[in-house]
Structure 1
Amino acid sequence: MIWGSNASAQTGDIVRIATFAAPLSRDGPGLLLRDITKQDDAGIAAIVAIINHISPDILILTDFDYDAGGAGLSAFSDVLADPYQYKFALRPNAGMQTGLDIDGDGFTGDARDAMGYGRFLGDGGLALLSRSPVDVVNVIDLTELRWRDVPSAVLPQMNGTAFPSDDVQAMLHVSSSGHWIVPINFGAQTITLLVYSATAPVFDGPEDFNGLRNRDELRVWEAVLDGTLAAPPTNPIIIGNVNADPFDGQGICSGIAGVLARPDLQDPMPMSLGAKQAADLNQMGDPALDTADWSDDGPGNLRVSYILPSRALNVVGAGVFWPAQNDPLATLLGSDGLTAGPHRLVWVDIEIEGLR
């Protein structure tokens, strides 16, 4: 176990990698850019303050509205204390209408009938900010991988028939947002981020559509690591919002539990005193590992955001930004602890010099 401090300074060959499911999605296209440029949004201000404090070298944002020109991402980077030189995003499945009845309610054209839930194209996509070059030429985008083509996929059924229909299962992508294989170069060394954000395994019916999809979105990375979907990547790191806890919550816990037990990956077990203090009654997992504060409304506090590096990488630190109640830094979360949203930023420090 690595109990990480919240120190922001990096030295030598240490690279800090972070993921943050901060609520940077809005009700329509262009509204996020508007709110960033106005600089009067309390939630954005809190998110920026947390990022400034942790100061990651690489940051994955898993709820960031996509626009084709990257204006929103550039504007967000520019309001940070130390803007990022490299910015990367691809069009997500979120909000991409299919013309089919994806949720089986008898209607088409609403947010649940897109390739991934979304009120508009790009709603709540993925974004990457980096201080080191992104090897764009060698990025592999698996966002259009069909669900039925995922090795060992389990597609939903209702009363022994495909749910919601054979037509949907023939064309639906597994990604609710996106799946990117992204190499990042550090001189002669490379790490490869396996970036994604999975659907919440709830808001469905007895067919468990979202639960099964959530499980198979993670199964994509298992297939990549096993070499059955793409060549095994160099120094892979699974990173993003898995939206599943290995012990608690309504997801298929065995999925993420199995990935955490893989011998080719390591779990840095980033912890926080704030999460430990906020433990739920009857929680089965270690509450110090939680990354989302849903204790007042929802499934309870859970561990849902992860950074899982290759076993070949030298991890030297890890943490979750969830300060203890008496820590002055807790003010960055707001008076109710939720100004920056229910999710907490997760970070891991890796010694690049030790790559092999």
Structure 2
Amino acid sequence: MLRDLSREPPEAALATIVDAAPDVLVLTNLDYDASGVTLGALADALGERGLDFPHRYAARPNTGMPTGLDLDGDGYLGGPRDAQGYGWFSGQGGQAILSRHPLRPVADHSDVLWKDVPDRAIAADDPGHDVQRLASTAFWAVAVDAPGASLTLLTVGATPPVFDGPEDRNGRRNRDEVLFWTHVLDGADAPQGPMALIGNLNLDPANGDGLHDAIRTVLDHPRLQDPQPGAATVTWDNTGPMRVSYVLPDAALRVAGQGVTPPAEDAGPHGLIWVDVVLP
């Protein structure tokens, strides 16, 4: 299950999550702190409402992490667009996982440089060419060890393909973030057991800004299945309904149910995406 907590009142978010009662919850746009206070407070609040998540995972994301360079060319250092991922402070808008089952970190690819990924679209004269990480948030592989079976989550929180100029830097970075896990799945380090790609890819297959072929490539990947094709996951005033967040299980798994729970009134634009899978 995937939930974007940006611009959402706490009570509305809590009610939606408790009503869905997931076994595993991936959160995006949740601020990270080294002591885990934010994630712990959220888990405690859910526990007070009857939904216990004894297992939690978060690590420092790339958001707000300084590069030491003036990446946006405004003549100043330390701005949110000078960081590895957009952020006014380190950890702003990170990722986290809550689970009823034990969590086991498998790999963290968040430090992979943009220039080092296959078929990269970074410009040769990009000011951050030699230091810019690809992940604007994080690329985690985290195993959920349920009784008798495990499921590896492949997480992503891609930059929106907007808020730039004719150089389309954000659009090109979004493309390569969206495609990142397909390169892993096609390589020697691909997860061998059941897995699921889950996250906010910030890219609709047809509508809005962005290089749409990237998400089409993901949806067509033979290791993945799309249990809810065409489902709108967000509604923005200027574009209408779009699909930008995804839960894509392993093609070998049986999907028992799926859906998108709309946000509560005045609770932000993102819905909660859920998929029930049967582990072997």
- Identify the match of residue 225 of structure 2 among 266, 274, 279: 266
1:65 equivalenced with 2:35 (yes/no): no
Deviation at 1:240, TM superposition (A): 0.6
Pairing partner for 1:224 from 162, 166, 184 = 184
Cα shift readout 1:47-106 (whole Å, capped 9, x = no counterpart): 000001111110011110000011110110111121211010010000011110112333
Aligned match of 2:276: 349
TM-score after normalising by structure 1 = 0.75
Amino acid corresponding to residue 78 of structure 2 in structure 1: G
How far does residue 293 in structure 1 lie from its aligned partner after superposition? 1.2
The reply on whether 1:292 has 2:234 as its aligned counterpart is yes
Aligned-partner Cα distance in 1 for 2:172–2:165: 11
1:151/1:219 contact within 8 Å kept: no
Aligned counterpart for 2:82 among listed residues 103, 106, 113? 113
Q: Which amino acid aligns with 1:265?
A: L
SS in 1 for 2:213: helix
Within-5 A mapping of 1:90-169: 90-136=59-105, 139-156=106-123, 162-163=125-126, 165=127, 168-169=128-129
Instruction: Give, in whole Å, the separation in 1 of the partners of 2:97 and 2:191.
Output: 21
Percent of matched pairs sharing the same residue: 45
Answering whether residue 14 of structure 2 is matched by residue 21 of structure 1, we say no
Aligned equivalents of 2:180, 2:221: Cα separation in 1? 14
Once residues 107 and 246 of structure 2 are traced to their aligned partners in structure 1, the CA distance between those partners, rounded to angstroms, is: 21
Larger relative contact order (CA 8 Å, sep ≥ 6): 1
Deviations along 1:26-64, one digit per CA (max 9) or x if unpaired, are xxxxxxxxxxxxxxxx81100000001111110011110
Q: Which residue of 1 aligns with 2:246?
A: 306
CA distance in 2, matches of 1:94, 1:239: 18
The answer (yes or no) to whether the contact 1:293–1:300 under 8 Å persists in 2 is yes
- Name 1:78's counterpart in structure 2: 44
Check the 8 A contact 2:62/2:136 in 1, yes or no. Answer: yes
Instruction: For 1:233 and 1:176, locate their aligned partners in 2 and report how far apart those are by CA, in whole Å.
Output: 26
Q: Quick one: distance in 2 between partners of 1:233 and 1:132?
A: 20
CA distance in 2, matches of 1:143, 1:61: 17
Tell me by how many angstroms 1:340 deviates: 2.2
Deviations 1:248-293 (A, max 9, x none): 01011111011111222100017xxxxxxxxxxxxxxx4xx11001
TM-score, normalising length: structure 2: 0.95
Instruction: Specify the SS of the correspondent of 1:48.
Output: helix
Does the Cα contact within 8 Å between 2:67 and 2:131 map onto a contact in 1? no
Gaps of 5+ in 2: none
Matched, 1:204 2:164: yes
- Contact kept, 8 Å, 1:192 with 1:233, in 2: the verdict is no
Deviation at 1:233, TM superposition (A): 4.2
Answer yes or no: is 1:54 the counterpart of 2:20.
yes
Deviation at 1:342, TM superposition (A): 0.8
Q: Is the 8 A contact 1:148 1:155 kept in 2?
A: yes
For these two proteins, the number of residue pairs brought into alignment is: 277
Structure with greater helix percent: 1
The amino acid of 1:290's aligned partner reads A
Between the aligned partners of 2:98 and 2:278, the Cα distance in structure 1 is 19
Shift, 1:188, TM fit: 3.0
Q: d(CA) in 2 for partners of 1:191 and 1:109? A: 38
Q: Is the 8 A contact 2:182 2:221 kept in 1?
A: no
Mapped contact 2:179–2:215 kept (Cα < 8 A): no
Instruction: Give unmatched runs, 5+ long, in structure 1.
Output: 1-17, 25-41, 271-285, 323-331
When Rg is computed on C-alpha atoms for both structures, the one with the higher figure is: 1
Deviation of 1:300 after TM superposition, in Å, equals: 2.8
Q: How far does the alpha carbon of each residue in 1:91-141 deviate from its partner, in whole angstroms, 9 at most, with x for none? A: 0000011110112333321111010000101000001000011013xx201
Instruction: Tell me the secondary structure at the aligned position of residue 50 of structure 1.
Output: helix
Higher strand share: 2
RMSD across aligned C-alpha pairs, in angstroms? 1.5
* SS class of match (2:118): coil
